[in-house]
Amino acid sequence: MVNPDDDSVTFFDVRHDRNARLGNIVGKEPNSVAVLPDGRQAYLANTVSGTVSVVRRRGNGRSSRAGDDDDDGSDKDLPFRVVKEIKVGTEPYGVALTPNGKKLYGTNALSNSVSVIDTATDTVVETIANVGIEPRGIAITNDGDGDDLDETVYVTQFLALPIPGKVDGEDDAKAGKVTVIASATDTVFGEVTLNPIADAGFKALGDSIQRRS
C-alpha cells in the first residue's frame, strides 16, 4: 500500500486472514505499485524523486512480525528490500505490468511521457513521448496468452482539453482523453475521447458565463 503523504510504502501479510502490518519502506511520495505475477518483485513510482524503486523479495522469504518495522524507515526486518532505483521522467505517477510481467509501463505526469522498463534487466528501454497532457492512470489488456507484445496500453490524461467552439466554463466545454499505446512497438496509435455531460446538473444563482456587459 502506497502512502504518498507519508513518503512510505506499507507491506501487509494477508495470508490466512492475518492482515498483519509488516512495516514500511521509505519512498519520495510513492503513488502506485505493481507486483510481478510470481510475487518476487515489486515496482514503486516515486513522484518526487523521479524514480521507480525495484523492491525484491529476500532470498529466505522470511516475514517479520507485525510492528517490527523500525522508526527510521529501515527495511531490514521486512521480507522485501529496495535493490535499485530506476531514473525515469518528471513526477512518475502510475505503473502497470504486462500480463506476464516482461515489461513495466510508467506514466511521467510532468514529462508528458511513458517510460518502458524491461523487467529482466530493470532498465528503461523506451520513452514514449506525446502521450497527452499530464498522463497519470494506466492499464494494460490481458488476452490470456504468453505473449506480452500483443497487448494494448491505456493512459489517462489528467487534464481535460477544450472543445473547439464551446464556451470555457460550460459543462460540456472540455473532454477527457485516453491515449492508446501498442505494446508491440511502444508507440501511440490512437486516442479515445471521453465526451462530457451536456448538463452536469449544477445550477447557480448567478452565472458569469451568461453575464453580458
Tell me: do 121 and 142 sit in the same domain.
yes
128, 189: one domain: yes
Answer yes or no: is 141 within a domain: yes
Q: Provide the domain count of the chain.
A: 2
112/81 same-domain check: no
Residue 80 confidence (pLDDT): 83
CB hemisphere CA count around 192 (13 angstroms): 11
Point out the domain boundary residue: 53, 87, 121.
87
pLDDT at 60 over 90: no
Domain boundary residue among 87, 115, 137?
87
Q: Which of these three, 63, 87, 111, is where a domain ends? A: 87
Residue 181 included in any domain: yes
Grid cell of 12 as nine digits: 501487509
Contact criterion met (CB below 8 Å) for 23 and 8: no
**pLDDT for the residue 71:** 40
pTM for the predicted model, two decimal places: 0.86
Q: Tell me which residue range forms the domain holding 142.
A: 89-200
Q: Examine the domain organization and report whether 126 and 139 are in the same domain.
A: yes
Do 130 and 184 lie in one domain? The reply is: yes
Domain identity same for 5 and 53: yes
Q: Coil, helix or strand for 6?
A: helix
Mean pLDDT of the chain: 88
The answer to whether the beta carbons of residues 111 and 91 sit under 8 Å apart is: yes
pLDDT above 60: residue 62: no
Has residue 205 been placed in a domain?
A: no
CA proximity to 95, closest of 130, 140, 134, 127: 140
> What CATH number has the domain bearing residue 107?
2.130.10.10
Q: Specify the higher pLDDT residue, 201 or 109.
A: 109
**Are residues 106 and 179 both part of a single domain?**
yes
Q: What residues contact residue 39 under an 8 Å CB cut-off, 6+ apart?
A: 57
Distance CA 56, CA 84 (A): 9
Give the single-character DSSP code of 30: E
Residues 158 and 169 grouped into a single domain: yes
Q: Is residue 165 part of a domain?
A: yes
Mean pLDDT calculated for residue range 54-73: 54
What would the mean pLDDT of 115-143 be, rounded to a whole number?
Answer: 97
Residue 68 has pLDDT above 50, yes or no: no
Any domain includes 209: no
Task: Identify whether 211 is part of a domain.
Answer: no
> Grid cell 510475487 — which residue?
39
Are 135 and 56 part of one and the same domain? no
